[in-house]
């Protein structure tokens, strides 16, 4: 049955039939939201308008529960934070000036729910969506990263999700020709029926190439190009359809989008050529809410009016209704605003790349977004009411009843190992635990080489990419979040994620300059979740203010829960850094024998929420480690200065698993052994051996220093007042010796570290 044969629900029909019942509830709108739409329009909405409002006013598109909190990212800023920010919150992605006429744009976004239902396509289209956000800014995408959280590694369903998600990211990212330069993977039963797939993309552009999503210039053409529009990714459209057609209409269509990376690759090259020839005025990608979102946002950000003939949209499936076309989330599509005089040039470029294109309409000065369907007006709205002035909720916030008891249950009561054999046993259990294990089973499936500019990637602390082949100018990125810490204290947990990502960028030799965040939480209708959210946002905003690096954009994902149980609050923080020459990058592992190993920072008894408390005792309670952002800043400055003096051979951040994990990772990175002693740490910091090895105190990094630079390095640390202790020396033997505790071959450690994923998901290829 074809939609064109049925009477469309036109604006005049809607005005004449105010009593018609509409399936707003099934589309996710609340009764008062529906009434608000009727009030805005002065009549009932047409089914097309209802489709648009319902998707654009959804939590995902409108940020209605989070908006009032996210404003802090704009208000808690300083002059320094705004100085290099070319585009901030609210656009498709933030843009940062990195010098030399270059800019970097980056953003992290969630694709959690689709990735549980259909892991392969969910994850693949997550990559595709974030990459289109980057293109929309006028940038060439140059790298991707992903922050993943899965259920318990031993749950049978986890393997299904892991295989699908990793294959989806691998397939889509590799086919796009974008190096995957890092990310993180955690396993925890709180993510069992709600994995988190957060995809990050980075793009680079010259300042003059910056493009924004706005529709300006009356008479300019509105052009849709890329893949054809199909029935995939339509959330509630089948409800509208079944309301219009009692039988024989389109039936349930997949709510998960299907990705075609080849189409997106061609779209990237096509867009870059359009930008280069200056053929587009404004551009917007089609992501969530498809054409509804693109038309209403472009119009809102521009001169305010737009006229579209919807039947001109090229379709994969000719039976789609107007409402479905408005809501479809088919991938690999873009919408551009083109001046009439440049349309021929535009069409020439898209033809060269074999990209299908249709001119849908034009920019007007009516102040209305008007959409016709075969000559009949089915949408007539003020675009801002759809895209910008959606509902804003001040959701109830309640301090969780359980949190005081949780905070009181400290890990300090747990038995700590004291004998050499117990310590060794626990170190091996930790490095072989799901979250601390080597992740090359995953990362070996990602291309890191393509584009030829990758300076660092996993398992280094941050990924690093060269931007300018002449000067060596580059950027570094790292993502972090520790849901366990956030469960104990969302404010501090969010700041811990910020501190760790900041430190991870600093140890590469880059200077942190900006933040993007992906805020994954449970239901906003749960007041305790809203408390977690409010605290986490406050923590990030305050922390960024203290570090003086701005939040440039990101995304909020609510309703992440298994049954009624929300996930641990998981605010994933991505920090972007700049380095003037990637040749100066700092490796994360030891490369040479005879280097002195230093521990920077002090170790406190901070085992609450640690990997040790989880792996050895299955415990979560107490208070997360102290955050000292000013200290992190001084540490970053020290590393940068030492690196400029060329006296640092390697630097590796201490985080999950503490010192033991960091030392073993440093040894295994390039297969260089070491002899390490803990005596001075125990004496200076007054802690026991287990605490020295497993505490997750912040502000700590291990660095290796060539022997001849030893005096200089010590002087540097003393001069800057940063605590430093020489705790070991690298050597030429293939062993790692922790004095008075154990000596193990690197092979033995490697085996323990690499086995967990391979044991569950199949052999790691190529090792």
Partner 1 sequence: MRIGVITFPGSLDDRDAQRAVRIAGATPVALWHGDHDLQDVDAVILPGGFAYGDYLRAGAIASFAPIMSEVVDAAGRGVPVLGICNGFQMLAEARLVPGAHTRNAHQQFIRRDQKMRVENAGTSWTTAFETGDEIVIPMKNADGRFVADAETLARIEGEGQVVFRYLDVNPNGSLNDIAGVSNLAGNVVGLMPHPEHATEPGFGPDTPAAMSSGTDGLKFFESVIGAFVTA
> Distance between CA atoms of 186 and 169, rounded to whole angstroms?
16
Report, in Å, the least distance between residue 171 CB and partner 1. 7
Please list, residue by residue across 370-392, b when 16 or more beta carbons sit within 10 angstroms of its beta carbon and e when fewer do.
Answer: bbbbeeebbbbbbbbbbbeebee
Report which secondary-structure segment, H or E, holds 344.
helix 343-352
721 or 766: CB nearest partner 1: 766
Report, in Å, the least distance between residue 180 CB and partner 1. 9
Q: Exactly one of 111, 113, 568, 753 is catalytic; which is it?
A: 111
**Residue 525: both structure tokens together:** 């209708």
3-state secondary structure 384-416: HHHHCCCCCCCCCCCCCCCHHHHHHCCHHHCCC
> Distance between CA atoms of 78 and 539, rounded to whole angstroms?
16
3-state secondary structure 330-341: CCCEEEEEECHH
- Kind of pairing between the strands at 673-676 and 735-738: parallel
260 or 309: CB nearest partner 1: 260
Would you give the distance in Å from CA 172 to the centre of its chain?
A: 16
Quick one: which of 313, 256, 268, 322 has its CA closest to 111? 256
Quick one: which of 258, 275, 391, 278 has its CA closest to 331? 258
CA-CA distances (angstroms) from residue 141 to 82, 129, 205, 268, 538?
Answer: 24, 12, 9, 8, 31
> Distance between CA atoms of 511 and 84, rounded to whole angstroms?
13
429 or 733: CB nearest partner 1: 733
Report, in Å, the least distance between residue 757 CB and partner 1. 13
DSSP state of 46: P
Whether the upstream peptide bond of residue 648 has omega within 30° of 0, thus cis, is no
Report, in Å, the least distance between residue 291 CB and partner 1. 25
**Residue 122: both structure tokens together:** 């969910």
Report, in Å, the least distance between residue 587 CB and partner 1. 5
Report, in Å, the least distance between residue 332 CB and partner 1. 12
167 or 717: CB nearest partner 1: 167
92 or 331: CB nearest partner 1: 331
Report which secondary-structure segment, H or E, holds 576.
strand 570-579
CB 692, CB 733: distance < 8 Å: no
> Distance between CA atoms of 651 and 452, rounded to whole angstroms?
24
> Distance between CA atoms of 336 and 271, rounded to whole angstroms?
10
Ranges of beta strands (E only) in 427-564 are 454-456, 463-466, 474-480, 511-520, 551-557, 561-562
> Distance between CA atoms of 190 and 213, rounded to whole angstroms?
38
**Residue 581: both structure tokens together:** 């020459």
> Distance between CA atoms of 161 and 146, rounded to whole angstroms?
15
Q: What size, in residues, is the chain?
A: 767
Report, in Å, the least distance between residue 465 CB and partner 1. 10
41 or 586: CB nearest partner 1: 586
453 or 534: CB nearest partner 1: 453
269 or 303: CB nearest partner 1: 269
Report, in Å, the least distance between residue 336 CB and partner 1. 19
Backbone φ and ψ of 223, nearest 5°: -120, 130
Q: Is 111 a catalytic residue?
A: yes
419 or 732: CB nearest partner 1: 732
**Residue 485: both structure tokens together:** 């810490």
269 or 409: CB nearest partner 1: 269
Q: Is 374 a catalytic residue?
A: no
Q: Within 10 A of 18 (CB to CB), how many other CB atoms are there?
A: 9
Report, in Å, the least distance between residue 112 CB and partner 1. 23
CB 347, CB 340: distance < 8 Å: no
35 or 765: CB nearest partner 1: 765
The contact set with partner 1 (CB under 8 A) reads 167, 170-171, 174-177, 260-263, 265-266, 269, 353-354, 444-455, 466, 469, 582-583, 587, 591, 670, 763, 765-767
169 or 294: CB nearest partner 1: 169
Would you give the distance in Å from CA 353 to the centre of its chain?
A: 30
> Distance between CA atoms of 514 and 511, rounded to whole angstroms?
10
DSSP state of 363: E
Report, in Å, the least distance between residue 445 CB and partner 1. 5
Report, in Å, the least distance between residue 749 CB and partner 1. 19
- Kind of pairing between the strands at 551-557 and 511-520: parallel
Q: Within 10 A of 675 (CB to CB), how many other CB atoms are there?
A: 17
10 Å CB burial of residue 152 (0-12, 13-18, 19+) is middle
> Distance between CA atoms of 269 and 176, rounded to whole angstroms?
10
What is the separation, in whole angstroms, between the first and last Cα of the chain? 55
Q: Exactly one of 13, 60, 211, 753 is catalytic; which is it?
A: 60
Task: Supply the residues annotated as catalytic.
Answer: 60, 111
């Amino acid at each position: 049955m074809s939609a064109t044969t049925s009477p469309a629900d036109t604006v005049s029909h809607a005005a004449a039939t105010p009593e018609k019942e509409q399936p707003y509830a099934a589309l996710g709108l609340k009764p008062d939201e529906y009434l608000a739409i009727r009030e805005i329009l002065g009549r009932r909405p047409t089914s097309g308008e209802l489709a648009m409002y319902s998707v654009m006013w959804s939590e995902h598109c409108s940020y209605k529960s989070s908006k009032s909190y996210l404003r802090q990212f704009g208000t808690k800023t300083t002059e320094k934070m705004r100085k290099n920010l070319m585009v901030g919150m609210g656009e498709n992605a933030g843009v940062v000036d990195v010098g030399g006429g270059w800019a970097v744009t980056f953003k992290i976004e969630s694709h959690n729910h689709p990735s549980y239902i259909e892991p392969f396509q969910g994850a693949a289209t997550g990559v595709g969506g974030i990459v289109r956000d980057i293109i929309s800014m006028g940038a060439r995408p140059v790298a991707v990263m992903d922050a993943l959280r899965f259920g318990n590694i031993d749950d049978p369903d986890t393997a299904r999700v892991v295989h699908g998600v990793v294959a989806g990211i691998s397939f889509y990212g590799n086919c796009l020709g974008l190096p995957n330069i890092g990310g993180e993977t955690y396993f925890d039963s709180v993510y069992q029926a709600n994995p988190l797939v957060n995809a990050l993309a980075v793009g680079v552009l010259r300042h003059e190439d910056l493009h924004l999503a706005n529709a300006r210039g009356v008479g300019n053409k509105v052009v849709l190009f890329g893949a054809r529009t199909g029935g995939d990714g339509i959330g509630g459209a089948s409800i509208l359809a079944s309301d219009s057609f009692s039988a024989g209409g389109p039936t349930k269509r997949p709510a998960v989008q299907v990705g075609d990376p080849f189409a997106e690759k061609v779209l990237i090259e096509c867009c870059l050529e359009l930008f280069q020839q200056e053929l587009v005025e404004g551009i917007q990608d089609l992501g969530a809410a498809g054409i509804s979102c693109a038309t209403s946002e472009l119009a809102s950000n521009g001169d305010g009016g737009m006229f579209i003939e919807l039947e001109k949209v090229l379709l994969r499936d000719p039976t789609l209704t107007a409402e479905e076309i408005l809501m479809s989330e088919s991938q690999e599509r873009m919408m551009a605003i083109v001046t009439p005089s440049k349309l021929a040039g535009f069409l020439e470029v898209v033809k060269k790349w074999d990209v299908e294109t249709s001119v849908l309409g034009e920019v007007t000065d009516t102040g209305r977004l008007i959409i016709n369907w075969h000559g009949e007006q089915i949408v007539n709205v003020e675009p801002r009411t759809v895209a910008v002035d959606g509902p804003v909720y001040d959701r109830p916030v309640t301090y969780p009843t359980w949190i005081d008891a949780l905070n009181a249950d400290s890990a300090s009561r747990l038995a700590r190992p004291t004998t050499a054999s117990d310590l060794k046993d626990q170190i091996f259990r930790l490095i072989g635990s799901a979250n601390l294990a080597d992740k090359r089973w995953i990362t070996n499936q990602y291309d890191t080489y393509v584009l030829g500019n990758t300076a660092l990637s996993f398992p280094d602390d941050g990924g690093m990419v060269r931007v300018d082949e002449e000067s060596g100018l580059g950027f570094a990125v790292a993502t972090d979040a520790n849901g366990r810490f956030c469960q104990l204290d969302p404010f501090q947990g969010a700041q811990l994620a910020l501190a760790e990502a900041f430190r991870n960028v600093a140890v590469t030799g880059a200077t942190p300059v900006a933040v993007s965040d992906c805020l994954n939480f449970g239901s906003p209708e749960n007041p305790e979740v809203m408390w977690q959210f409010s605290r986490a946002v406050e923590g990030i905003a305050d922390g960024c203010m203290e570090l003086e690096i701005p939040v440039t954009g990101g995304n909020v994902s609510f309703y992440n829960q298994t049954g009624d149980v929300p996930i641990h609050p998981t605010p994933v923080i991505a920090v972007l850094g700049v380095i003037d020459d990637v040749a100066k990058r700092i490796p994360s592992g030891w490369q040479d024998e005879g280097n002195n190993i230093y521990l920077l920072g002090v170790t406190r008894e901070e085992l609450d929420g640690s990997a040790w408390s989880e792996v050895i005792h299955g415990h979560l309670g107490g208070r997360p480690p102290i955050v000292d952002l000013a200290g992190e800043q001084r540490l970053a400055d020290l590393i940068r200065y030492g690196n400029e003096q060329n006296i640092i051979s390697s630097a590796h951040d201490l985080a999950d698993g503490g010192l033991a994990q960091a030392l073993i990772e440093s040894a295994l990175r390039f297969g260089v052994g070491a002899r390490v002693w803990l005596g001075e740490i125990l004496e200076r910091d007054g802690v026991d051996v287990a605490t020295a090895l497993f505490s997750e105190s912040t502000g700590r990094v291990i660095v290796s220093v060539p022997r001849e630079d030893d005096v200089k390095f010590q002087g540097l640390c003393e001069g800057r007042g940063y605590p430093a202790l020489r705790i070991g020396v690298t050597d030429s033997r293939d062993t790692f010796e922790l004095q008075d505790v154990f000596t193990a071959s690197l092979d033995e450690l490697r085996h323990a570290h690499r086995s967990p994923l391979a044991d569950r998901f199949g052999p790691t290829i190529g090792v």
